Amino acid sequence: MLLFIAGGTGFVGGHLMPELARRGIGGRCLLRSMKKAPLCAGFETVPGSLDDIPAGSMDGVDMVVHLVGIMSEEGASTFESVHVKGTTNLVNEALKAGVKRFFYQSSLGASLQSASMYQKSKARAEEAVTESGMHYTIFRPSLILGRGDGFTKQIVAMINSSPVVAVPGTGMAKFQPLTASDWVRCFLAMLEDGRFLDRLCEIGGPEQFSFNELIMLYMKAMGSGKSVIHVPAGLVKAGLSVLKLARAAGYKRFPRVGRDQLTLLETDNITDTDSIKKQFGFEPESIRGALKEFLPAE
C-alpha cells in the first residue's frame, strides 16, 4: 500500500512514521521544511504544504493520511486556513489523482454546534472528507498523550510557571486520554481491515479524568507539592492579552493558551471507556503508569 502523509513530522506522525517504516509500509510525506526529512525515513519527501500541494505528488497513491492540525491560532495559521481550507485542498488533490481512500484525524467533540471554533472547524473538515466520494476513515480521539505531546508541555509549563498552580475555571470537565502508542495500534488495525471503510471512530483511553484529576496526576509524576487554586474562566480570558505580552517579552515559562483552548477546558471530552476494545480488539494502556515516561526532561 502506498500512502501520502500530511503531518508526518508532527506529534502523532512522529510516533506513526517509525512503525510504518518498521513494517515496510512506504509512500510520500508532504514536508513544509526539508530539514525534517530525516523524520520521514522510508518515505519519499514532497516539498510543499496544504496550501501548495505539488501537482502529481499523489499519483499512484492508495490512501491519503491527513494528520495536520493546530490547537491554537497564530498569525496566518487559523482554524479556517488549516483545518477547513487545508483539508479541502488535500481532498481536491486526492480526487484529481484518483485516490480511493482518505484518512482524517479529527477530534472527539467535533460538531458544527460546538462553542469551540476548533471543534467547529474539525467538523467542517470532516464534511469535506465524507462528501468527497472517496472511501474514508475518521478518527475522533480524546487527548493523545506521549513523548512530545502539546498538552503535556502546556500542563508542565502551567505547573512550573508560578508558586501555585492556577487552574482556569472549575476544572471539572472530563477527558479520556489515550497513549500515542495505542493510537498507532488503532491506525495500523484500520489500515489492514476493510471494516473501517466509511467509518467514523470515536476513541479514548480506558479511564476518564476531570481536568483537576489530570493536574494532580502530573503533579504527582513531577514530584510537585504546590497548592492548586481555581481562577474564574472569565477572568483568565480577560487576562489573555497580558499573558501574550508576557510571552512576547521573553517569559516563555508561561504556557501558550488561547480563548478557544479555555472553552475546551469547560467541556467534557469523553466517549465509551471500552471504545478501543470494542472497535479494535485490544485493551488500551492507562496513562497512570505511562505518564512519567513522557514528561519532558528538566
pLDDT tens digit string along 197-209? 999 999 999 999 9
Supply the pLDDT for residue 266. 86
Question: Which residues are within 8 A (CB) of 33 and not within 5 positions of it... i.e. 6 or more apart?
Answer: none
Measured at the CA of 222, the angle between CA 218 and CA 223, to 5 degrees, comes to 115
Provide the CATH number for the domain around residue 73: 3.40.50.720
Is the pLDDT confidence value at 100 over 70?
yes
Domain holding 117, by residue range, is 2-141
Q: How many helices (H) and strands (E) does the chain have?
A: 12, 13
Residue 74 lies in a domain: yes
Is the pLDDT confidence value at 250 over 80?
no
Neighbours of 227 (CB within 10 A): 8
d(CA 5, CA 13): 9
At residue 184, φ and ψ (nearest 5 deg) are -60, -40
Supply the pLDDT for residue 258. 62
Residue 117 lies in a domain: yes
Residue 263 lies in a domain: no
Question: Which residues are within 8 A (CB) of 212 and not within 5 positions of it... i.e. 6 or more apart?
Answer: 167, 171, 172, 228
The residue with greater pLDDT, 117 or 259, is 117
Confidence tier at 142 by pLDDT (50, 70, 90): very high
Residue 44 lies in a domain: yes
Residue 120 lies in a domain: yes
At residue 218, φ and ψ (nearest 5 deg) are -65, -45
Q: Provide the β-strand partners of residue 26.
A: 2
Measured at the CA of 251, the angle between CA 245 and CA 255, to 5 degrees, comes to 85
From start to end of the chain, where are the E strands?
A: 2-6, 26-31, 43-47, 63-66, 101-105, 135-141, 144-145, 165-168, 174-175, 178-179, 199-203, 209-210, 228-231
Is the pLDDT confidence value at 294 over 80?
yes
Q: In a 3-state reduction of DSSP, which class is residue 14?
A: helix
Supply the pLDDT for residue 203. 98
Supply the pLDDT for residue 292. 86
Residue 43 lies in a domain: yes
For the chain, the domain total comes to: 1
Residue 150 lies in a domain: no
From start to end of 12-77, where are the E strands?
A: 26-31, 43-47, 63-66
* Helical ranges in 31-106 per DSSP H: 79, 86-97
- Amino acid (1-letter code) at residue 270: I
Is the pLDDT confidence value at 251 over 70?
no
Once rounded to an integer, what is the mean pLDDT over residues 104-132? 97
Residue 33 lies in a domain: yes
